[in-house]
A and B are shown apart, each in its own frame.
Chain A
Amino acid sequence: MKSQSKTWNDPVLVAAVAPLAIVMLVFFLVPLAMTALLTFQTTQYYRLQWTWDLTIWTEIFSKPHYWTIMLRTVGMALICVVISILIAFPTAYALTTRLKTYSAQIQILIIFAFLTDAVLKTFGWILVLDRQGVANWLLSYLGLGPEAMDILFTPTGTMIGMVYNLAVYPMFTIYLSLARIDRDLVLASYDAGASRIRTFFEVTLPLSRPGLYSGAVLVFVLSLGAFLEPKVLGGGTSPLASELIRQSFETRVNWPLGAALTIVLIVIGALTLALAAAFVFRRTPAARRELA
């Protein structure tokens, strides 16, 4: 506590942090507060009525339709986290071990793919997932699966697009964690008598947790706001929260509803993260957290 008061008394530190603090205040906290305020207004003939009532909130809590979409969004986000991690971890692991020599080249390729516009990439997936697309052609060519599978315009299509666009985040955070692990720790584990698999679970995996968790959080937060994939690849058949919010603002011109749904999404996301954090911290001894 002592050090904290010291920090605030240091004019240089305060000056250094001030610009960012002001930007966050003006462009994040104020709009957030305005959004929250908006939920207590009503609309009449597409015009905002400046009142103070709970009409929108009672509507949201009385219609299960909204909650279905919200829960679907969180569910899709969690599935996306799991699949992304399952793809990202082995990739990052290979880049720090077997493929270490080519690590730089492979990472450049991944970054190129990553920096290509998401809209372009997502539309590209239509060519792959279509009934007459590359995926179906390849499957039938190899004699796998039925004649033609419907992937495009299904939740599966949405999920493929989301994982494709987001798996790169945990790949990099996990890579950074893995690359920081001292090679001697792995040798020390072998030396103590541990097999490769045992060493992975006793040493490598626990020490890559920071990257694993931060990557998971990134994917989760970005998945909650997934907009492009459900529209382009999901075909709007099972909309997610972002589509619902867009419709409220644009199609129905009901800003209070859109604002309230936004707040609901933020709260659900924050609660999920808080639960996950509680779970992680419960399993991490206090002494180690202190050192992290």
Chain B
Amino acid sequence: MATPIIDASHIVKDYGRVRALHGVSLEVGAGEFVALVGPSGCGKTTLLKILAGFEDITEGRLEIEGKDMRGVPAASRPTRMVFQKLALFPHKTVAQNIGFPLKLQKFDRAEIDRRVVAMLELMHLNPDYLDRFPAQLSGGEQQRVALARALVSHPGVLLLDEPMSALDAKLKKSLQAELKKLHRELGTSFVLVTHDLEEAMMLADKICVMRAGRMVQIGTPTDIYYRPANMFVAGFIGETNFLPVDVSGTLEGGLTVGSPLVAGQPVVMESGNVSEFLGEGNKALLIRPESIGFLAGEPGPGQWMLTGVVEEYFIKGSSTQYRVRVAGLDAPVVMDLPGSFELPAQVGEEVRIGFEPMRAFLLSE
């Protein structure tokens, strides 16, 4: 890989006696779309502020475009930020907001006007908005103005701090699509902070899952979804099922997995279906809701069966979700079935459900 545009290594950040980041490393390649994901307080926003230059580093080293960023103020960095609450200047018009970075770079008026209008077009904003004030625009329009202001001076890296968290679901979806398109068209590196792993998977080339000031896993969206490092990462997206299992053997010699809760023979897991971060503690099989189904009869070869009672179902249109209460499991088993006109089971009905453990993914806590 070519030299990364952002190279952060072993970043430690203390706020007084509280350590917010415990030696976090991050690489962002040129033109890459990276998402920092984690629950609130995991340090993702702190890391973004460090990249922007709003916070200094306690320990570690940060290079952007090959230059050490120690002591370099935010104003002199090749990064631009889109703030969570947008931070549009309320006393400046849309045109003045977007043109502000160019004005600071002492471009002449005609050039600024030309670029601002071009930005407005790129963001699909009405050209009549130029002389309006931010408060006169809708939330989605303000969002686009904030993006335009950040992108107008062609930054090396665009930093996005949960910019879509305040928008309603429909607007969010359309802006997400636009953001992805924008990234493809511009080729600028994007770093997005979000607590929504689904959003990160939709948009990013690379996802960094953070927890309590540490990187838990860095990988592509498919890595994160299909090969999560542990139950924390796996549980972070949508709804999943964890089946506690007993494991014997070694990875080299073959890991044998069995469970007293199921009807079915123990199986040997293939290395492709075992987390590379498999540790010592409790282990579980990760079974996605879409890979479980109802069984009419006995389980087939290589299949495991659970019996339980239907607790609730939700008709979602293209799919129907069932929740089945199984004795011995804390949470109900969640299963997504293809939508159908007739419901396969009613609430309170005793059902058999089955899945193939070989297709599941073995991980630890």
Q: Which residues of A contact B (CB under 8 A)?
A: 182, 184-185, 187-195, 198, 202-203, 206-207, 285, 287-288, 291
Inter-subunit contact A287/B149 (CB<8 Å): no
- Pick the contact of A206 from B54, B80, B91 — CB < 8 Å? B91
Tell me the bound Cα distance from A195 to B73 in angstroms: 9
Q: Once bound together, how far apart are the Cα atoms of A50 and B104, in whole Å? A: 69
Asked whether B136 is an interface residue with its Cβ less than 8 Å from the other chain, the reply is yes
From A185, A191, A202, A206, contact of B75 by CB (8 A): A191
Q: Choose one: B74, B84, B85, B105; the contact of A191 (CB below 8 Å).
A: B74
Mask: chain B, 90-102; 1 = CB below 8 Å from A; 0 = not:
1101000000110
Contact B89 A185 (CB under 8 A): yes
A191, A203, A288: the one contacting B133 at CB < 8 Å is: A288
Is the CB of B135 closer than 8 A to any CB of chain A?
yes
**Interface residues of B, Cβ cutoff 8 Å to A:** 52-54, 73-76, 79-81, 83-85, 87-91, 93, 100-101, 104-105, 131-133, 135-136, 149, 153
- B100 and A192 contact, CB distance less than 8 A: yes
Q: A182-B85, A184-B83 are in contact. Are A190 and B73 (CB under 8 A)?
A: yes
15 sampled A-B residue pairs with Cβ under 8 A: A182-B87, A184-B85, A187-B74, A187-B81, A189-B89, A189-B100, A191-B54, A192-B153, A193-B104, A193-B105, A193-B153, A287-B93, A287-B131, A287-B132, A291-B90
Q: Which residues of B contact A195 (CB under 8 A)?
A: 75
Whether A192 contacts B101 by the Cβ 8 Å rule is: yes
Measured in the bound complex, the distance between the Cα atoms of B100 and A206 in whole Å is 15
Residues in A with CB closer than 8 Å to B75 are 190-195
Tell me, in angstroms, the Cα distance from A187 to B51 when the chains sit together. Answer: 13
Give the residues in chain B near A194, CB-CB below 8 Å.
75, 100, 104
For the complex, what is the distance from the CA of A195 to the CA of B76, rounded to whole Å?
A: 9
Q: Are A187 and B54 in contact (CB under 8 A)?
A: yes
In the complex, residue of chain B having the shortest beta-carbon distance to the beta carbon of A184: B87
- B158 smallest CB distance to A (angstroms): 11
Task: Name the CB-closest residue of A to B49.
Answer: A187
How many A-B contacts at CB < 8 Å in the complex?
Answer: 73
Docked complex Cα distance between A190 and B79 (Å)? 11
| Residues of B with C-beta under 8 A to A187 | 52, 54, 74, 81, 83, 87
Partner of A192, one of B91, B93, B149: B149
Q: How far is the CB of A190 from chain B (nearest CB, A)?
A: 4
Q: Which residue of B lies closest to A291 (CB)?
A: B135
10 pairs of A and B residues whose beta carbons are closest in the complex: A184-B87, A188-B87, A192-B101, A190-B74, A193-B104, A206-B91, A191-B81, A193-B75, A190-B75, A184-B83
Contact assessment for A207 and B90 in the assembled complex, using a CB-CB cutoff below 8 Å: yes
In the bound assembly, the distance between CA atoms of A191 and B89 in angstroms comes to 13
Contact check: which of B83, B87, B91 meets A288 at CB < 8 Å? B91
Q: Is the interface of A mostly helix, strand, loop or mixed?
A: helix
**Which of B90, B105, B135, B153 is packed against the most chain A CB atoms within 10 Å?**
B90
Question: Contacts of B83 on A, CB cut-off 8 Å?
Answer: 184, 187-188
CB distance from A198 to the nearest CB of B (A): 7
Min CB distance B100 to A, Å, is: 5
Q: Which residues of B contact A190 (CB under 8 A)?
A: 53-54, 73-75
Smallest CB–CB gap between B159 and chain A, Å?
9
Residues of B within 8 A of A193 (CB): 75-76, 101, 104-105, 153
Q: How far is the CA of A206 from the CA of B90 in the complex (A)?
A: 10
Whether A287 and B136, one on each chain, are in contact in the complex, defined by CB atoms closer than 8 angstroms, is yes
Cα-based distance from A193 to B93 in the complex (angstroms)? 18
Interface core residue of B73, B76, B100, B132 (most chain A CB under 10 Å)? B100
| Min CB gap A159→B, angstroms | 33
* Alpha-carbon gap, A202 to B132, bound state (A): 18
Contacts of A185 in B (CB 8 A): 87, 89-90
What residue in chain B is nearest A198 (Cβ atoms)? B104
Distance of A287 Cα from B89 Cα, bound (Å): 14
**Residues on the B chain within 8 Å of A189, using CB:** 89, 100
Q: Which residues on the A side are within 8 Å of B74 (C-beta)?
A: 187, 190-191
A76 to B91 Cα, complex, angstroms: 32
Assess whether B104 is in contact with A291, with CB atoms less than 8 Å apart: no
Once bound together, how far apart are the Cα atoms of A115 and B153, in whole Å? 52
Distance in angstroms from A212 CB to nearest chain B CB is: 13
A33, chain B: closest CB distance, angstroms? 41
Q: Once bound together, how far apart are the Cα atoms of A182 and B84, in whole Å?
A: 12
Please give the distance in Å from A291's CB to the nearest CB on chain B.
5
Closest residue of B by beta carbon distance from A182:
B87
Shortest distance between the CB of B227 and any CB in chain A (Å): 36
Other than A188-B81, A188-B89, A203-B89, give 15 A-B pairs with Cβ distance below 8 A.
A184-B85, A187-B52, A187-B54, A187-B83, A189-B89, A190-B73, A192-B101, A193-B75, A193-B153, A198-B104, A202-B89, A206-B91, A207-B91, A285-B93, A285-B131
- Chain A residues with CB under 8 A of B53: 190-191
* Distance between B149 CB and nearest chain A CB, rounded to angstroms: 7
CA distance A189 to B149 in the complex (A): 11
- Closest chain-A Cβ to B286's Cβ sits at a distance in Å of 39
Bound Cα distance from A109 to B143, whole angstroms = 44
- Distance, CA A191 to CA B151, complexed state (A): 12
A285 contact set on B, CB distance < 8 A? 93, 131, 133
- Tell me the smallest distance from the CB of A197 to a CB of chain B, in Å: 11
A179 to chain B, nearest CB (A): 16
Contacts of A184 in B (CB 8 A): 83-85, 87
B149 touches A291 (CB 8 A): no
Contact partners of B101 in chain A: CB under 8 A:
192-193
A192 contact set on B, CB distance < 8 A = 75, 80, 100-101, 104, 149, 153
**Most interface-central of A182, A191, A202 (chain B CB within 10 A):** A191
The winner among B53, B91, B100 for most chain A CB atoms within 10 A is B91
Contact A291 B133 (CB under 8 A): yes
Which residue of chain A is the closest to B83 with respect to CB atoms?
Answer: A184
Cα–Cα, bound, A174→B101 (Å): 28
Cα–Cα distance between A74 and B153 once the two chains are bound (Å) = 49
